[in-house]
Amino acid sequence: MSRTNAKPPAAAGTARPAKASRPAEDAYPGSSGEGVLFSLGKVVEQRDGITAGHCERLALTAAALGVAMGLDEASLLTLYLGGFLHDIGKVGIPDAILFKAGPLTEEEWDAMRTHPARGESICRPLKSFRAVLPLIRSHHERMDGTGYPDHLRGEEIPLLARVLQTVDIYDALTNTRPYKEPCTRQRALEILEEEAACGWRDPEITSRFVGLNRRVLEKIRTYSRPAAATSMRRSLNNLQQLLAS
């Protein structure tokens, strides 16, 4: 879930972002770990019915964009995990801020901007989620350095975090939020292109996402992920077959 017109933070964070590294094949949870994953991912959604389905849509759409970019399976799995876990730090944000219908005050923005670091702290003890930490921490950074929490610039922002944020913004724009009505898909894509042009988003990733035709995006919207007990690799294989059909 993303407020796309967020003001840049007044000061850089003091903690260093998690180092991005190529995920190892054993860096992902088995069936019991997946149960933790899906439970954590649903916590934020269950606080408000308006955002129901956001994490699952984000996981699938980010993985689909990764397929379009030719990313390897380990990266696709990381994107899939990141879709479910990217906003887990919002469990510590008061409802009065998270679901406020109007603009946030500067103090409220200060609280909101803590959620990436909070999420990283929550997931850091889980070794099976270590590859996802850079996505959780850095999905609100901007290419021009005005994002948060670390003011990263350009390719300092991990590639997969740049992929995830593109999809996160699109999903937020095209779905109802407490503070706005949904945009049309076409307008959401235009906003992404505008934000890339002004230096906020990765222009190459934005262009690739805009290039995903309507048929592909509609397939993603109607795709039903298998039960949580089904492996993530099998789920991704099913998604790849769907997109290829």
Would you name the residues annotated as active-site residues?
90
Tally Cβ neighbours within 10 Å of residue 221.
13
Residue with tokens 């909070």, as numbered in its chain: 118
Residue with tokens 């993985």, as numbered in its chain: 63
How far is residue 232 from each of residues 22, 59, 70, 128, 176, measured CA to CA in Å? 18, 11, 18, 13, 28
Which pair of structure tokens corresponds to residue 27?
Answer: 């860096």
Which pair of structure tokens corresponds to residue 138?
Answer: 């850095």
The residues near 245 (Cβ < 8 Å, ≥ 6 apart) are: none
Phi, psi of 141 (to 5 degrees): -75, 160
Which pair of structure tokens corresponds to residue 54?
Answer: 């956001």
